[in-house]
Amino acid sequence: MTLEDLKRRCENQNFKYAYGKFKEPTEPPHLVAITIGSNNFMADNRVYKKQTPVKLDYTYIDKDIEYQNKLEDEVLGDVAWNKTDETYLQDEEIWQVSYFFEI
């Protein structure tokens, strides 16, 4: 998968999606992806396989199990991922869970 594939998958499933941040204020639920460094396979001073760690933040106001299952099954279904605990951001009065995977 590439970042373009991730964007396409999110849009095909009708998720509000942005890389980095939304250009306009966007009400949750929505997804925001960022890359967090690299985890390349290297040998002999050469990169043989590029691997980019991605953090995908799912932000919401009200818990929707179907929405979250759709994200995990349809968008990330063929990707090995981990996720954080759900965190309540009191200042913004929203919930957030982050998914971590490599592309």
- In the prediction, which pLDDT does 49 show? 84
- In the prediction, which pLDDT does 59 show? 96
CA dist., res. 51 & res. 3, Å (int): 12
> Do residues 20 and 29 touch, judged by C-beta distance below 8 A?
no
* DSSP secondary structure letter of residue 69: H
Domain span at residue 93 reads: 3-102
- In the prediction, which pLDDT does 32 show? 98
Number of domains composing the chain: 1
Instruction: Kindly report the CATH number assigned to the domain that includes residue 9.
Output: 3.30.2000.30
Q: How many CA atoms lie within 13 A of 64 on its CB side?
A: 14
Tokens of 41: 């396979």
Higher pLDDT, 51 or 78: 78
pTM of the model: 0.89
